[in-house]
Amino acid sequence: MPFLTAILTPPQPYNNLSINMTTLWHTRWKKENETDFASLNTMIPCGSQSLIERQFQSAYTHAKFAEVQIEFRSKMNCIIQNCVVEGDACIYEVMEETMNNHHSHESIFKVNYNRNTNDFNCKCLLFEFRGIICRHSLVVLAQERQ
Ligand SMILES: [Zn+2]
């Protein structure tokens, strides 16, 4: 039973709703266990030679790693336009080119990187919302490795 169908069924007595929610959670738990099992026993190949990507490959589930791989592939649309360094603090401006309805669009993302602590954040907030490192930060980290 699809997730929303289970929730959007007509009003039912409390007992039926409780049983439906128990069934729903059991189904989701079972699916998560199957996903975890597959992630632990098989491996999606890396698309690059990056050590960072290999770390994500071993730490994340297949679904989360697939999201990370999208970010690695999307690095090719990003270039560093500017970098301001003040002590250990670096502020990078990363330009990303995207296509929307056959029109090119450029966006600038500021990535803050601290060379002393290796802390970084990006204004796109992908890590804060999805728990994966964004393409803009990956470009900066690759630059800082040199
Ligand atoms: Zn970003």
Report the separation in Å between the CA atom of 120 and the middle of ligand 1, taken as the mean of its atom positions: 10
Give 29's pLDDT tier (boundaries 50, 70, 90).
Answer: confident
Structure tokens at 84: 């301001």
DSSP annotation of 110 reads: E
Given a cut of 90, whether residue 104 has pLDDT beyond it is: yes
pLDDT at 26: 81
pLDDT in tens, 51-87: 888 888 888 888 899 999 999 999 999 999 999 999 9
Report the separation in Å between the CA atom of 18 and the middle of ligand 1, taken as the mean of its atom positions: 41
pLDDT at 2: 59
pLDDT at 12: 63
Q: Which of 56, 65, 73 is nearest to 38 (CA)?
A: 65
Report the separation in Å between the CA atom of 138 and the middle of ligand 1, taken as the mean of its atom positions: 8
Any alpha helices (H) in 8-114, and if so which ranges?
A: 14-41, 51-59, 62-74
Report the separation in Å between the CA atom of 40 and the middle of ligand 1, taken as the mean of its atom positions: 29
Give 6's pLDDT tier (boundaries 50, 70, 90).
Answer: low
Q: Which of 93, 117, 95 is nearest to 104 (CA)?
A: 95
Structure tokens at 20: 């439906």
